[in-house]
Amino acid sequence: MAGIYIHIPFCKQACTYCNFHFSTSLSRKADLLNAIVMEMDQRVRSDETIDSVYFGGGTPSLCSSKEIENLLSCLKRKVSFSKEIEITLECNPDDLSGQYLSDILEVGINRLSIGVQSFYDSDLKFMNRAHNSLEAKTCIQNALSAGFDNITIDLIYGSPTTTNDMWLENIQRALGSGIHHLSSYALTVEDKTKLNYDVKLGKVHVNEETAATQFDILLAQLNLYGFEQYEISNFCKEEKYAKHNTSYWQGNSYIGLGPAAHSYDGKKRRWNIANNALYMKGIREASIYWEEEVLTVNDRYNEYIMTGLRTKWGIKTVEISSLFGNDVYEYFQKSFAECAYKDKLLVSEGTITITEHGRFFADAIAASLFKI
């Protein structure tokens, strides 16, 4: 098993674009964390060795260092940690005091994923982020000074509040800060978000052409700073790939703990109920608190295409045949021959990847090869 994902479903406030599962009430945080430990005891096998632990959310940096230490201690009693294990904490800039950074480093966190999103107050206010531009600008140096040498930050492009000049400044400030990894995402209008509501009312306009232009600006700057694009939205220097996320894209198995967390074992996907109270009730009463889906051959092929084309490693024709059989391979050959995006694909020694220009359209390209 590649790793463990732990979902911490709490936030200070709701970002306008976010449709992840979370609660802004912390009143039952202790009970929820105890339930995660119980799920850990029920599901994690004692003979496993893992390469990564990822605290996601929500906002895991709302957990104290003692709470994080307890979760890691309980996990260590269940599994072996590999020598080079990556233990990531997603965090917000406003949570990263010097003392907190020292404390979480001491209890075992060795990688930070900081949700900066922008260094401009106008962007942060539009996104309803809990931090301000000063905190965005100082959090990286604070983390480096505390002793963290494995840091990634998130940036969002395509916001109606972000001009191209602002976006260029965001990129240059991030890449010049001393970090070795960056994740960058287009502002996306998701169901059940304030952003979606405002778009429908005509109060906000999200322009895909602006996002595409800013994606091109991002790629140009990354090249100048020596960053490699190893996945559509992820970039690094010196092969500092994110172990946990890379395991997803390469189809490795993992267990997700906590409400709304997903798991994958190579043949089926399982996801916990996205409701804190019902999740805790299910754990406490040993009743079913999850759903699962056994993946068909077509499902697994489609996922292989989707995840593989998002990465620099691409998809391999020989693997399509060996993993999914001749029928699927023949379908792929026919679909590839008829693909409307062939000018955005590169073929080299049986490996297919997306061109730099085509990466903004990766989802559409993958969908054109899906087997329904």
Query: For position 343, which CATH number holds?
Result: 1.10.10
Together in a domain, 37 and 151 = yes
Q: Which pair of tokens denotes residue 204? A: 């906000």
Phi, psi angles (nearest 5°) of residue 155: -130, 145
Determine how many CB atoms are found less than 10 A away from the CB of residue 33: 20
* Domain assignment present for 28: yes
Distance CA 22, CA 19 (A): 9
* Domain assignment present for 363: yes
Determine how many CB atoms are found less than 10 A away from the CB of residue 208: 10
* Domain assignment present for 132: yes
Using pLDDT thresholds of 50, 70 and 90, give the confidence band for residue 60: very high
CA R_g for the chain: 21
Q: What global pTM score does this model have?
A: 0.96
Report which residue type is found at 89: L
Together in a domain, 170 and 316 = no
| CATH code assigned at 65 | 3.30.750.200
Together in a domain, 240 and 340 = no
Please say if the pLDDT value at position 300 is more than 80: yes
Q: Domain boundary residue among 218, 249, 280?
A: 249
Together in a domain, 305 and 243 = no
Distant-in-sequence, close-in-space partners of 126: CB < 8 Å, separation ≥ 6: 16, 159, 160, 161
Together in a domain, 237 and 359 = no
Picking from 302, 198, 196, the residue whose alpha carbon sits closest to that of residue 251 is 302
For residues 23-30, average pLDDT: 96
Q: Is the dihedral of CA 154, 160, 162, 165 positive or negative?
A: positive
**What is the structure's pLDDT at 357?**
86
Q: Which pair of tokens denotes residue 19? A: 């449709």
* Domain assignment present for 178: yes
Pairing of strands 351-354, 345-348: antiparallel
For residues 185-211, average pLDDT: 96
DSSP three-state, residue 24: coil
Q: Domain boundary residue among 223, 249, 275?
A: 249
Q: What is the mean pLDDT of the chain?
A: 96
pLDDT digits (tens, 9 = 90+) for 337-363: 999 999 999 999 999 999 998 999 999
Percent of all residues in the chain with a pLDDT value above 70, rounded to a whole number = 100
For the chain, how many structural domains are there in total? 2
| Cβ atoms of 237 and 228 closer than 8 Å | yes
| Cβ atoms of 260 and 10 closer than 8 Å | no
What are residue 136's DSSP bridge partners?
none
Distance CA 135, CA 138 (A): 5
Q: Which pair of tokens denotes residue 288? A: 């079913």
Together in a domain, 171 and 320 = no
Together in a domain, 242 and 305 = no
Distance CA 58, CA 63 (A): 11
Please say if the pLDDT value at position 47 is more than 90: no
Q: Domain boundary residue among 184, 215, 249?
A: 249
Together in a domain, 155 and 15 = yes
* Domain assignment present for 262: no
| Cβ atoms of 54 and 93 closer than 8 Å | no
Together in a domain, 178 and 323 = no
Distance CA 262, CA 5 (A): 8
Together in a domain, 217 and 357 = no
| Cβ atoms of 5 and 260 closer than 8 Å | no
pLDDT digits (tens, 9 = 90+) for 131-181: 999 999 999 999 999 999 999 999 999 999 999 999 999 999 999 999 999
Following DSSP, what letter does each residue of 46-82 receive, concatenated?
TT-EEEEEEEEES-GGGS-HHHHHHHHHHHHTTSEEE
Cis bond leading into 58, ω under 30°?
yes
Following DSSP, what letter does each residue of 93-161 receive, concatenated?
GGG--HHHHHHHHHHT--EEEEEEE-S-HHHHHHHT-SS-HHHHHHHHHHHHHHT---EEEEEEE--TT
* Domain assignment present for 281: no
* Domain assignment present for 277: no
Full residue range of the structural domain in which residue 325 is found: 297-367
Distant-in-sequence, close-in-space partners of 13: CB < 8 Å, separation ≥ 6: 24, 128, 130
Distance CA 337, CA 335 (A): 5
Together in a domain, 244 and 305 = no
Crossing angle between the packed helical segments 65-76 and 29-43, to the nearest 10 degrees: 10
* Domain assignment present for 287: no
List C-alpha distances in Å: 46 to 1, 276, 340. Answer: 12, 26, 48
Together in a domain, 80 and 220 = yes
Report the Cα 150 to chain-centroid distance in Å: 16
